[in-house]
């Protein structure tokens, strides 16, 4: 068995970036860990934010959430007037998707990472 335990999120300001993630996603506050600011996304998976002085290469981070968590996070996205899209190509602005009988939305963090919230895994059927 292979289980993802943590991943590094390269950012320009680890305090601001980790705070953004935790606030929008409704996760516990970030905590310092070694050279990182860490957010526990689930009991088994952490996001470790690390700073770089160089260019941040945008990555994609997808979060499977429940219906209530989606509503709360999507509300925070709209409250902050963050642009959002129904698709990763950003060709459907201002709407969410309803793939596989769930809901999904894409939005960017301040470093340009493309974040996704989805309520059903893609390919799971309606």
Which secondary-structure segment (H or E) carries 16?
A: helix 14-25
- Burial tier of 84 (Cβ tally within 10 Å: 0-12, 13-18, 19+): buried
Distance of CA 98 to the CA centre of its chain: 18
* Residue 79 tokens, joined: 């409250």
Which alpha helices (DSSP H) does 26-81 contain, by range?
A: 67-79
Sequential pLDDT tens for the chain (126 residues): 998 999 999 999 999 999 999 999 999 999 999 999 999 988 899 999 999 999 999 999 999 999 999 999 999 999 999 999 999 999 999 999 999 999 999 999 999 999 999 999 988 876
Domains, the chain, in order of start with CATH, read 1-49 (3.30.720), 57-126 (3.10.180.10)
């Amino acid at each position: 068995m292979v289980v993802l335990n943590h991943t590094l999120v390269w950012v320009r300001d680890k305090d601001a970036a980790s705070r953004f993630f935790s606030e929008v996603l409704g996760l516990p506050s970030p905590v310092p860990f070694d050279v990182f600011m860490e957010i526990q996304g689930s009991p088994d998976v952490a996001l470790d934010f690390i700073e770089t002085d160089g260019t941040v290469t945008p990555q994609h981070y997808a979060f499977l959430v429940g219906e209530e968590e989606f509503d709360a996070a999507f509300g925070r996205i709209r409250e902050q007037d963050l642009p959002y899209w129904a698709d990763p190509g950003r060709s459907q602005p201002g709407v969410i998707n309803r793939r596989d009988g769930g809901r999904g939305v894409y939005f960017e963090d301040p470093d340009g990472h493309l974040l996704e919230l989805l309520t059903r895994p893609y390919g799971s059927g309606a």
